[in-house]
Every structure is written in C-alpha cells, then in structure tokens.
Amino acid sequence: MNSAINKIKAVVLGHAIGDALGVPVEFNSRESLKKRPVKNMREYGTYDVPAGAWSDDTSMSLAALDAIADGSVNFDAVMVGFGEWYYKDKYTPTEKMFDVGNTCAQAINNYFLGKKSIEECGLTAGNSNGNGSLMRIHPFSLMAYYVDGMRNEFEPFIEKASALTHAHERAKLACKIYTLILFALLDNPCKDSIKLALCKSSAHYEISREYSAYKRIFAPDFDKLPESEIKSTGYVVDTLEAALWCLLTTESYKECVLKAVNLGDDTDTVGAIAGGLAGALYGYDALPKKWLETLIKREYIEKMCVRAENAWCGK
C-alpha cells in the first residue's frame, strides 16, 4: 500500500510512535537503558503521563500540520498554533503541555509577548541549535513533496519553517538535509535512497558555512561507526546523526525506533525523527499494531493526515 495517504500516515504516525516510546525514558542514560531497555510502550517514568503519550515533538508537528493541512501556507497561522499549544494546551495527548524546549519557548514568547514578526521571533545564536525545528519539520517536508510546484522550491519554505523557532543556519541546514532524505524515501523506499540523498546533500550544501558540522553523515562509512561514537543529545547535529545511524543500521521500523530510544538522553526526539524516516522507509503497514492502538489520539492524528492528503494531492 504505497498510496499518498499511507505514506503521509507512515511518516506522521511513525514519528508520533517514536516520540511516545521515548517520553517515559527521556534523559535516562544509555547505561541505565542497557540494563532495562525499552521494548514496548511504557507509562509514566520521566513524566506523569500514560503509555502512548507524545511530547512537544508531536504537539508542535500537529500544530504545524493543522495550519497547512488545507493547502495554504501562512506562517503566522503556524505560530498561532504553537501558541495555542504552549499557552492553552491544545495539540497535547493529555490536555496538558508537559515538555518544551528553551529555544521554542523563547521564540513563541518573542512572537506573542515581544510582538516580533515571523522573520524575527526565531533565535539566531550559535547556542540555540537544539533539535526543536528538526523535530517538527516533517509536515512541511511532506507538503513540499506532494503539492505541485513546491518540491523544486522547497529550500526557502523549509528554511522559513525552521526559522520560526530556530533561525541559525545550522538548524536550517539540518531541516533541509532531512527533507532531501525524506523526499528520496518517498520516491523509492530503500536504504540506497538514504545514501543517495546524503550524497546529493553533500554536493549541494558544500558551500554552506555550516557544512562541516554535518561532515560525519556525509562520510561513506558513517553507518560503520560504533554506537560509542554516536551521541543522542538535544544538539541538532547529534540528533540527526543518531536518527540516521539507527535507520541505516537496522532492518525494520520496530528495530530502528527501539535502537533510537535506547541510545538514551533525548530519547523522544531521536525516536521521533528516526520513527518518521523509518515510517517512510518501511511503510504504514510496518508500524506495530499494538503501538498504534496504544498511541493516544491516533484517530485525531489520522484525520489530520487525511485532510492534508486531500488538499495537497488535489482531491
């Protein structure tokens, strides 16, 4: 089943499942998870939430998706969605926001309290290169893939989407690399597509002043690195590396997201990004049914995906 709706659901739900798997063990060390690894959905743990609850990664992604799911692009509407989540608990699994990154919080406050525009609210400092835009970029990447005329002009669109919160070139570059990988997987879901997309990214972004930050993923033997060389922190470069390494060194959706989560540290985001890409690679039918059934508000998420597919694919 490779229809557009199944591909969209595979990415969005694949992301949400990876997020929910990681939530109960966020900030746990790799060593502690080796002793008690995540094997299925857990409840509580780091946060006082039930099994299947997802974090800010999916909440902000859904706020973004809701704003663009009817086919129009209005970045102010995206920011309004972020505000409804941050201030009013919308787009949450439990009707209460329980996790937010500092850069995202500051950017949202800049927009609503500081009255800064969408061009000014995102943070530009070098120390604001967390993974908070990478974790919510996939709805924009999916729209760019499916809407006629957007794919060839995806870069300014993805840059603006990132810059709402993360406006430094390093964070924007991560989002563009991710988008090229997702495009390649949607075109041809196999691991060779990942490596081809990385080669394309390397050639295309070699002129970027932030290119060197990502040099490890462009190396042909990146997937041969031992686990000890992979960091799973909230730094955007570490997160992208960890998600791609898990994708390249596993053979199924389930194996990929469990490997990502059990790296420890920023478990929800590494799990989410790996999960969205693994969804694109292995397809909707590869998402474990038990995890789908446990995912809170699954039907709500799926309905939003259907809205998007109807608008983006011209129905």
pLDDT digits 0-9 by tens, 45-64 = 999 999 999 999 999 999 99
Instruction: List CB contacts of 67: < 8 A, sequence separation 6 or more.
Output: 74, 77, 78, 80, 81
Q: In whole angstroms, how far apart are CA 131 and each of 47, 111, 123, 180, 234?
A: 20, 19, 13, 17, 6
Categorize the per-residue pLDDT at 99 as very low, low, confident or very high, splitting at 50, 70 and 90: confident
Residue 314 has pLDDT above 90, yes or no: no
Does the pLDDT value for residue 148 go beyond 70? yes
Which pTM value belongs to this model? 0.96
CB 19 within 8 A of CB 243: no
Whether 130 and 234 have beta carbons less than 8 Å apart is answered as yes
Cα gap 43→26, rounded to integer Å = 12
What CATH number does the domain containing 27 carry? 1.10.4080.10
How far, in whole angstroms, is CA 266 from its chain's centroid? 13
Going by pLDDT thresholds of 50, 70 and 90, the confidence category of residue 1 is very low
- pLDDT tens column, 249-294: 999 999 999 999 999 999 999 999 999 999 999 999 999 999 999 9
Strand partners, 166: 123
∠142-268-306 over CA atoms, to 5°? Answer: 30
- Residue % of the chain over a pLDDT of 70: 99
Tokens linked to 268: 């929800």
Total domains in the chain come to 1
Give me the domain span that covers residue 250: 4-312
Cβ partners under 8 Å of residue 206, min gap 6: none
Phi-psi region of 29 (alpha: psi -120 to 50; beta: other; left: phi over 0): beta
Rounded to the nearest integer, the mean pLDDT of the chain is 96
